[in-house]
Chains A and B, each alone.
Chain A
Amino acid sequence: MSDMKVGLVLSGGGAKGAYHVGVVKALHEVGAQVDAVAGASIGALNGAILAAAPSLHEGAVRLETLWMDLANTSPLKFNFPAYIQLLAASGLHLASAGVLKEIVQKAQHIAGGAMPAGISNFLGGLNEGALSDTPLQNHINQYLDQEALNKGLPLFVSVFKHDHAFRDLLRCAVAELGIVDSAASEFVHIQSLPILEQKEALLASAAIPLLFAPKRINDNLYSDGGQGGWQKMQGNTPITPLLEAGCNMVVVTHLSDGSLWSRHDFPNATILEIRPQSNISREGLVPDILGFNAGKLPSWIEQGYVDTMHCVGRVMKATKSRVNLKVSEAAVVQSQDTARIDQEMQITMSRLSA
């Protein structure tokens, strides 16, 4: 019986969450175990599907099915970015399209630029009815089964206490500039919540401010968990609940290039980071997060797989070398136990000379 308890952190990053598919697939292939999952934003949704799956392998298959559904959705049928489709199909209520369009237009007016065609089309076609009854929604309904989730791996999600959409974003911007950090995100153990609040908490973790309405948990409103502790990505990389849950080995995935989350803030934890070994950014921050180009999703899946194989493989190789060293040492020590045979030889030789 292994004394290892492994936690998996799936950080937020919008459509780049496809990267998690490759990560989970690779972890299964290298024979890793996962005992608990924590996620932020898209990581919370992916984590929920993984936690509800009967095995790591099945979790990888379900995630791949879901994300390939998104990748294969015809852009002519739905004029939505992949990530918005995913969140809406999961049950998040879109904010009013009119309000959003007004916000964007005001922002453009201030900046003096023209609205990008993609955002304009997206906002133009934004309504909830267009997202109903799709294969994607069927898969989500099947994979986010409440009963399976409650029997599955412990799942923690980060949520950010909602104040006001604009103020929340403003605090993130201030934190990004290094002036004052945003308030810390809170971590919620999904299985400890009442049944009715479990899915609300999941969706709250992914509720991008302005685009999606915040969710109510315990009489408080919560939105995207990635907003908290912005400077050190405390909310977007929810490792703390896993350490508190007793995980002695944590695999942390990042969905941004050069993430400034630091393993050195957790000096006592054994942390294996899966970091992009080549640029994970494709078309810029907003298009990547919202997934305007669903054709990029398979490349993120592949990148997640390759990076995980690389990062985990390096650690496994080093560990194996050290284990071999220790085992060979033990073998050397064991082979030095020659007292009995030496004594037998001494007796035999003394018989010769007698």
Chain B
Amino acid sequence: MSDLAPITSDSKIYQVLISSLPNKFIVDFANGIDVGRDHLRVQRQRTGMGARLYDGFTGQGARRQAEINASLIDGVEGSLIWLGELTESLALSNYAIVQVNERLSVITQNVTTLAHYSADTRHQVEKLSIHFNQRCDQLNQQIYRIDFEQRAERQLEQVFNKWAAGRLNTFSLAGRCYAAMEELRWGVFGDYCRIHNNHIRQGFLGDLANRAISQLANDASMEPGDRSEMSSWLARPTGRTLLADATDALAYLGDGSNPEVQPFVFSITQLPEQTPLSVPKICNADRLARALVSELFSV
């Protein structure tokens, strides 16, 4: 498109043209009609004998006819000139239409290219969006897993801190281990172990077992592999600061335990004096901790 303002009837060029001298051929063409009509009107009125004789004698009839003829010729000539201009203008318009068509074809082609480009871009964006969403989901899952793992580890840390701080000293050595593991089993740690696959769960449970072995050995002032009678692991501590209903609390927690499936839990919570046959008479911290992990977290 041209940078110039479009030409309209308000344009200066229009005002200049309309106020400038009309072309002679236009004036002769248009005015010739009125001139010819004036002569023709008089000619038609002069059909009487006298008038015809007078016009013929004076030559006025012939001159009038000559004027009519000249006006007609002017009209035809004006028509020819105007027709020529119109034809040239039409040719110009036709060429302009051709140019418009050519440009329209180019624009159509470009629009087609743009449409393809747009469709391709949209397809790529959609793919990218899917990939991005998948990646986001993965990241979310990882974040959730990490958060979950963090919370599970924190609970593990909190529970063993509590144990190490002596908060569970009201229970027997094995009872402390059971109480700690029971708390973990019903908390985030237990959820984490139940949700995740065997490999991850085994890692966490290994940590749990190691921490429990270490804490048990520490509480018993023994090495993890040092053996001691089972009754010493199950014996309730004595002292004034102990909770009176600690035994009942353990019994309540392990009320549903099956002596055949969970012999250690049963021994610790229900009848410390009558341990099932599957419970060894002599046991070390390592054996006790692993047995409880196995009985409480086996799914």
Contact = CB atoms under 8 A, between A and B. Distances in A.
Interface of A: 2-4, 176-178, 248-249, 254, 257-260, 262-264, 269-273, 275-279, 310-311, 314-315, 317-320, 322-338, 340-342, 345, 349, 352-353
A332 B41 contact: no
Given A258-B43, A325-B89, A334-B6, A315 B31 contact: yes
Contacts of A318: 26, 29-30
A335 B34 contact: no
B103 A342 contact: yes
Contact of A260 (B4, B29, B67): B67
B58 A329 contact: no
Contacts of B103: 338, 342
A172 to B, nearest CB: 13
B34 A277 contact: yes
B57 A177 contact: yes
Contact of A271 (B20, B27, B63, B96): B27
B62 to A, nearest CB: 9
Contact of A315 (B30, B93, B113): B30
Given A279-B45, A331-B6, A352-B117, 12 more contacts: A249-B27, A258-B64, A271-B27, A275-B38, A277-B37, A315-B30, A318-B30, A323-B18, A332-B96, A335-B6, A340-B3, A345-B110
B27 A270 contact: yes
B27 A178 contact: no
B60 interface: yes
B221 interface: no
B20 A3 contact: yes
Contacts of A310: 34
6 contacts: A2-B21, A178-B57, A249-B21, A258-B39, A330-B13, A332-B92
Interface string B17-37: 111111110111111011101
A330 B24 CA distance: 21
Contact of A330 (B7, B42, B63, B70): B7
A311 B26 CA distance: 13
B2 interface: yes
Given A342-B103, A352-B114, A314 B22 contact: no
A272 B31 contact: yes
Nearest to B60: A260
A276 B21 CA distance: 24
Contacts of A260: 60, 63-64, 67
B1 A341 contact: yes
A177 B58 contact: yes
Contacts of B252: none
Given A4-B19, A257-B42, A263 B35 contact: yes
Contacts of A3: 20-21
Nearest to B103: A338
Contact of B92 (A278, A329, A341, A353): A329
A150 to B, nearest CB: 28
B59 interface: yes
Contact of A327 (B11, B26, B43, B82): B11
Contacts of A249: 21-22, 27
Contacts of A329: 89, 92
A324 B117 CA distance: 44
B270 to A, nearest CB: 80
Interface in B63-98: 63-64, 67, 70, 82, 85-86, 89, 92-93, 96
A315 to B, nearest CB: 5
A331 B38 contact: no
A283 to B, nearest CB: 16
A278 B41 CA distance: 8
B30 A336 contact: no
A333 B92 contact: yes
Contacts of B3: 340
B9 interface: yes
Contacts of A276: 38
Contacts of A279: 41, 45
A262 B110 CA distance: 64
B38 A326 contact: no
B99 interface: yes
Contacts of A328: 89
B31 A323 contact: no
Contacts of B64: 258, 260
Contacts of B41: 257-258, 278-279
B86 to A, nearest CB: 7
B14 interface: yes
A177 B39 CA distance: 19
The 10 A-B pairs with the shortest beta carbon distances in the complex, nearest first, are A258-B42, A331-B7, A275-B38, A337-B2, A178-B58, A178-B59, A318-B30, A319-B22, A270-B24, A323-B17
Contacts of A327: 7, 9, 11, 13-14, 17
A314 B43 contact: no
B60 A178 contact: yes
A340 B86 CA distance: 30
A279 B41 CA distance: 8
Residue from B8, B27, B82 whose CB has the most chain A CB atoms within 10 Å: B27
A342 B92 CA distance: 21
Nearest to B96: A332
A334 B92 CA distance: 12
Given A178-B57, A319-B26, A332 B113 contact: no
Contacts of B82: 322
B88 to A, nearest CB: 8
Interface in B224-270: none
A269 B1 CA distance: 42
A297 B29 CA distance: 32
A258 B38 contact: yes
